[in-house]
Amino acid sequence: MTLRLYDTVTRALRDFVPLAPGRVSVYLCGATVQGEPHIGHVRSGVAFDVLRRWLLAHDYDVAFVRNVTDIDDKILNKAAEAGRPWWEWAATFERSFDWAYGQLGVLPPSVEPRATGHITQMVEMMQRLIDNGHAYAAEGDVYFDVRSFPEYGKLSGHKLDDVHQGESVGAGKRDPRDFTLWKAAKPGEPSWPTPWGPGRPGWHLECSAMAEFYLGAAFDIHCGGMDLVFPHHENEIAQAKCAGDDFAQYWLHNGWVTKSGEKMSKSLGNVLSIPNVLKLVRPQELRYYLGSAHYRSMLEYSEEALQEAAVGYRRCESFVQRVGERTGTEVPVGTWTDEFAAALDDDLNVPAALAEIHGRVREGNSALESGDAERARTIAAQVRAMLGVLGVDPLDPHWAGTADDTAALGALDVLVRADLDRRQQARAEKNWAVADEVRDRLAAAGIAVTDTPNGPEWSLEQASSNESGK
């Protein structure tokens, strides 16, 4: 295997050589479970699932850690606004993320640690940083002294004079560029005891501590979205290195999903939740779409592009199914082509890999048309193998039944839309009795209606709740 990966630190392609022969250790920054996941949230899960599957296909033993941030300012604020306990709020949306990853066929991680389960490791790391002269306690808070680490800014390219952590300046902070490792307890907030007083962890500390605990002082690959390069990953490096760890050997970052040229986020109001998008396409088609661009590229969302990707996937699926029907037996999983391997070895170049797959599908269809069923079967086996590495093998049992599910949802959408149109007309005419009657009838059927700037949207409340284990 001659895998080359683009390392954010060196800003260059590097040959991938694991620390231990035959074994690869990977840490992926997972979700801050503050709300429902949208397609921008899960792109990193899909992108680095392809990396993991490619390593597994070469018989590497892969330790894959994906954390959950279950304590955070946003979680506390949103839970308080909703009048719900912070831990219940976090657990609810952790299940939503797990459901979304499962829908898209993302392999479960080797371990999925929560921040709140690793306070001991964080306290130990802070103590080492203080002992090494890289951190200090002040009025119950603990801060990292950025000036004590000469390499600070190497990952992001930030100069020290230009650093802004994006956090408030605490009363005891010596320099506004220093970042918070530990936040002193505030009334009504959860807290844990430490030698410096009760409080809760800062965002950056948790990943350094958990990566060290599960993968050791040095591990192979750290992944995450490009929005995490600064300050999160820059601060992770500073913490880990100053605590005595060699930390990650390669840093990989995926591009955003954008809409109208802007990063998809709740604050921009352009969120596309996984349940809503799965009304438009099947889960494997959404996964195919999210993984179709190079992982480092921006992916500009539009429904037209989504549907175009779905059509492309169906061409591959239809070919494999037709070969099975023509030959009378299910197509086996074969081996990928050299061209496919060369594409993925080139920094996971999925667009080039898909071009190879579609070229083979065209060749296979020609073989079928000419009556060469055995040739078509050999090609279909290759196509299954290549799509399997991308996580979208059409005959994988994981995708069984999704066509029927999507057809049913499509039919339901037609019926619900008719009621929503009636409700909109009633609202326009200020006929509130009819509008409320429509809404209440849909609610009784387990259908929640949300009014958005682009019109009403609906979701299956009960089905979503059951599927995500809420």
Residue 446 lies in a domain: yes
456: β partners: 451
What average pLDDT is seen over the chain? 92
- Give the end of a domain, one of 397, 413, 444: 397
Q: Is it the case that residue 396 has pLDDT exceeding 90?
A: yes
- Are 68 and 209 in the same domain? yes
89 located within any domain: yes
- Domain assignment of residue 423, yes or no: yes
On whether residue 262 sits in a domain, the answer given is no
Say whether the peptide bond before residue 231 is cis (omega within 30 degrees of 0): yes
Is the domain of 177 the same as that of 79? yes
Domain end (from 366, 397, 428)? 397
Q: Look at residue 392 and tell me if it is in a domain.
A: yes
pLDDT of amino acid 402: 59
Shared-domain flag, residues 316 and 283: yes
| Boundary-marking domain end, from 397, 418, 434 | 397
Indicate whether 411 pLDDT > 70. Answer: no
Domain annotation covers residue 260: no
| 56/92 same-domain check | yes
**What is the spatial distance between Cα 397 and Cα 389, in angstroms, rounded to a whole number?**
15
Residues 6+ apart with CB under 8 A from 67: 27, 28, 29, 30, 112, 113, 114, 115, 206, 207, 210
pTM of the model: 0.84
Beta-sheet pairing, 61-66 with 23-28: parallel
Same domain, 23 and 97: yes
Residue 264 lies in a domain: no
Band of the pLDDT at 167, cuts 50, 70, 90? confident
Same domain for 325 and 441, yes or no, is: no
pLDDT at 463: 38
Asked if residue 303 and residue 337 are part of one domain, the reply reads: yes
Give yes or no for residue 358 having a pLDDT over 60.
yes
**Per-residue pLDDT at 356 exceeds 90:** yes
Q: In the predicted model, is pLDDT for residue 445 greater than 60? A: yes
- Is pLDDT of 407 > 80? no
Structural domain span for residue 117: 4-254
194 and 85 within one domain: yes
Per-residue pLDDT at 462: 36
> Is 176 a member of any domain?
yes
What is the total count of domains within the chain?
3
Better-scored residue on pLDDT, 162 or 93: 93
For position 126, which CATH number holds? 3.40.50.620
Name residue 75's amino acid.
I
337 band by pLDDT with thresholds 50, 70 and 90? very high
Range with the poorest average pLDDT among 198-212, 426-440, 442-456: 442-456
Q: What would the pLDDT profile of 44-62 be if each residue is shown by its tens digit?
A: 999 999 999 999 999 999 9
- 287 and 417, same domain (yes or no): no
Residue 286 has pLDDT above 60, yes or no: yes
Q: What is the mean pLDDT of residues 224-243?
A: 97
Query: How does pLDDT run across 4-37, given as a tens digit for each residue?
Result: 999 999 999 999 999 999 999 999 999 999 999 9
Tell whether the model's pLDDT for residue 217 goes beyond 70.
Answer: yes
Band (pLDDT 50/70/90 cuts) for residue 329 is: very high
Q: Residues 341, 462: one domain?
A: no
Q: How far is CA 209 from CA 67, 89, 215, in A?
A: 11, 24, 10
Q: Are both 315 and 440 inside the same structural domain?
A: no
Residue 242 reports pLDDT greater than 60:
yes
If asked whether residues 118 and 26 sit together in one domain, one would say yes
